[in-house]
Structure 1
Amino acid sequence: MWKFWIIGVLAVIVVGVAIAYALADRETMTAEEFRAGSGYETVALTTGVTAYKDMGPKDAAPLVIVHGATLGSVAYEAYYQPFLDAGYRVIAYDQYGRGFSDRPDAELSVELMHTQLLGLLDHLEIENAALYGVSFGGAVIARFAAAHPNRVTGLGFQVPLIESPRSGLLQLASLPLIKPLVGRMVLVPAIIDRGESFGVETEEQRRVVDHFKTQFEVQGTQRLLMSMLTGDAMSSRLDDHATIAAANIPTQFVYATDDPEISPTSVQAAISNYEAADVHTYTGGHFFSATKQDELAGKLSAFFKANGI
């Protein structure tokens, strides 16, 4: 008799989890619906549609802003005008799986991210550009610069992801049958909570956080986010930095010495490859830059100008 009780209890648990999983589904719209009216331009690249903004004179030196793992390009709009005022052609875009770009049926690998950037530059007929990468965007531009050093005039790294050891939860989430459940029930809610730490004190910050949370309603967002977190996208970029340093690409690093998400030690390990990197340190954690966009854009612009970029 006890066997039937156990089977019954297990059945109730399974049904309960299935119901909770279904109720927790946020994905109610397509990427095309989400980007309607966004004001972004789009291009259909090999893997999917990429949403982007191309601002400033087309004959000015191009500077591409590459966003992080979860906050899309909308979070970096405060950098646009300072870079435009400094005389750059500013390009911002959403990586696959985030913001207004597509959620393709593909693994969100670092190679896919660097290929997306390459395709966008080719579409815009930009032969070489300065790249500014924030957090995971730092990993993307490191991979791109190491693979295509002749197409990069300068690099700016802000709190760059260098390597990210997987937690026990992410190791568990790597299991195919577990990944969707952990993603929907645990990681996505945790990431949304993290996004709110960007700040909601100003109207601009509230707009960014609202956009950030709404993107999780786009079909395929969770799948690609989990692919990124459990795949090779978070792998070490130390070899890439060694390659970049050997290519003598002018490079600036800005990071927080008290960052709980990006290990300052790992950033310092990357910097050790460079003979003359321009380095600036702050305190205030991973999102220290929330009120310092003009200052940071000014420092990067000054560094690039000093190097003829």
Structure 2
Amino acid sequence: MTWALVALAAIAAAPFVIELLRRRMTQTARAAAPGGFARLSDGVTHYRWIGPERGRIAVCVHGLTTPSLVWQAVAEGLAEDGYRVLLYDLYGRGYSDRPRKPHDRHLFHRQLNDLLHNLGITEPVTLLGYSMGGSISASWAAAQPERIEKLILLAPAGMGHDLGRVARITRDWPVIGDWLMLAMFPRNHRKGTASERAIARDVPGIIDYQQDELRWRGFVPAVLSSLRGMLAEVLERDHKAIRQAGLPVLAIWGRVDRVIPIKAMGVMAQWNPDAEHAVIEGAGHGLAYTNAGEVVQAIRDWRDQAGAVS
């Protein structure tokens, strides 16, 4: 009986021990990172610029499990069109710090505000958000519409959808959810990203970069905290505020996206009938790195259409 209890305790403790044994994100680990680092109010943030120094500024916000590299191909396309593109790693991801705070809109808005202030950016920007980054971008735009020139959302979260029973338990049940996340998420993340290896053609190595996130302490807890924080929000009020402010919005969707299903487009259209939409046929949730050329072309078409109308 005693050995059974010891074995049970070891099984229960194993995911937490494995997390503690993961590498910490340190200055040594950051030594080979491209770009720069800003010391902000909640920790260090990694960022990079792509494009001409005097271009109009576009800021790209990545998603739940992807580092900012996910934007590489889209950013290069925007740079060709004259944009100076700012990429940065959200807290808990990439080369940024892993603060042990709720990963909610307050943390992510503060990070973006701090970073823009640190870099001396005061003019309105074109803000792009992908997946959870779409939630961050939309809620930030609703709160500060005067700082937005255009809002572009790729497969944005925030429309509300069923995560599934296990994911709901993980999100909603303290302790048990933490154990499930630490025990199950790494394997599921590797499996899910590996399934896109054959089609992730636009950002070389992006699947390896996504899987490498699991090496670092704090990544998995950050994902769980985001599920409980930023991704738990339904952004109806924010999208209605965006419409009220008259901000130009383009939302780009993947036709076969299983993470943010295409039906979310209809929900967003109800909240903001003025938003424009583009659908990429055959694209799943990885459209930022599997269909980057089509994403950039959709943005160009929207820009040209707006120019023709004006």
Q: TM-score, structure 1 length as denominator?
A: 0.88
Partner in structure 1 of residue 285 of structure 2: 286
Partner in structure 2 of residue 136 of structure 1: 132
Secondary structure, counterpart of 1:35 in structure 2: coil
Structure 1 residues 42 and 24: alpha-carbon distance in aligned structure 2, compared to 1, 3 A threshold: closer
Separation in 2 of the partners of 1:200 and 1:258?
16
Further displaced range: 295-304 or 43-52: 295-304
Aligned pairs for 1:1-16 within 5 A: 5=1, 9-16=4-11
Question: Deviation of residue 202 (structure 1)?
Answer: 6.8
Q: Which amino acid aligns with 1:293?
A: A
Aligned 8 A contact 1:198 1:205 in 2: no
Question: Deviation of residue 243 (structure 1)?
Answer: 0.6
Aligned 8 A contact 2:131 2:154 in 1: yes
1:42 and 2:41 correspond: no
Question: Deviation of residue 204 (structure 1)?
Answer: 6.4
Q: Which portions of structure 1, spanning 4 or more consecutive aligned residues, are displaced by more than 6 angstroms? A: none
Q: Which amino acid aligns with 1:269?
A: V
Partner in structure 2 of residue 18 of structure 1: 13
Partner in structure 2 of residue 157 of structure 1: 153
Structure 1 residues 32 and 275: alpha-carbon distance in aligned structure 2, compared to 1, 3 A threshold: same
Further displaced range: 164-173 or 18-27: 18-27
Question: Deviation of residue 101 (structure 1)?
Answer: 0.8
Separation in 2 of the partners of 1:137 and 1:107?
16
Please give the per-residue CA displacement for 1:99-152, whole angstroms capped at 9, x wherever unaligned.
111101211112211221121122222221001111111101001000000000
Partner in structure 1 of residue 300 of structure 2: 301
Separation in 2 of the partners of 1:49 and 1:24?
21
1:266 and 2:264 correspond: yes
1:78 and 2:76 correspond: no
Structure 1 residues 23 and 125: alpha-carbon distance in aligned structure 2, compared to 1, 3 A threshold: closer
Q: Which amino acid aligns with 2:13?
A: A
Please give the per-residue CA displacement for 1:221-271, whole angstroms capped at 9, x wherever unaligned.
122111111234331112111110111111111112332111322221112
Structure 1 residues 117 and 21: alpha-carbon distance in aligned structure 2, compared to 1, 3 A threshold: closer
Further displaced range: 14-23 or 127-136: 14-23
Further displaced range: 53-62 or 124-133: 53-62
Separation in 1 of the partners of 2:39 and 2:271?
37
Partner in structure 2 of residue 61 of structure 1: 56
Aligned 8 A contact 2:70 2:289 in 1: no
Separation in 1 of the partners of 2:200 and 2:163?
34
Separation in 2 of the partners of 1:277 and 1:92?
24
Which residue of 91, 107, 110 corresponds with 1:96?
Answer: 91
Unaligned runs of 5+ in 2: none
Partner in structure 2 of residue 145 of structure 1: 141
Further displaced range: 274-283 or 13-22: 13-22
Q: Which amino acid aligns with 1:106?
A: K
Further displaced range: 114-123 or 195-204: 195-204
Question: Deviation of residue 95 (structure 1)?
Answer: 0.5
Separation in 1 of the partners of 2:182 and 2:243?
40
Q: Which amino acid aligns with 1:13?
A: L
Aligned 8 A contact 1:31 1:219 in 2: no
Aligned 8 A contact 2:70 2:288 in 1: no
Aligned 8 A contact 2:190 2:211 in 1: yes
Structure 1 residues 59 and 171: alpha-carbon distance in aligned structure 2, compared to 1, 3 A threshold: same
Structure 1 residues 255 and 139: alpha-carbon distance in aligned structure 2, compared to 1, 3 A threshold: same
Q: TM-score, structure 2 length as denominator?
A: 0.88
Structure 1 residues 118 and 24: alpha-carbon distance in aligned structure 2, compared to 1, 3 A threshold: closer
Separation in 2 of the partners of 1:307 and 1:136?
27
Question: Deviation of residue 43 (structure 1)?
Answer: 0.4
Separation in 2 of the partners of 1:200 and 1:31?
32
Aligned 8 A contact 2:46 2:96 in 1: yes
Further displaced range: 95-104 or 159-168: 159-168
Question: Deviation of residue 206 (structure 1)?
Answer: 5.6
Partner in structure 2 of residue 167 of structure 1: 164
Please give the per-residue CA displacement for 1:189-245, whole angstroms capped at 9, x wherever unaligned.
212322223324678656112121222222211221111112343311121111101
Structure 1 residues 201 and 243: alpha-carbon distance in aligned structure 2, compared to 1, 3 A threshold: closer
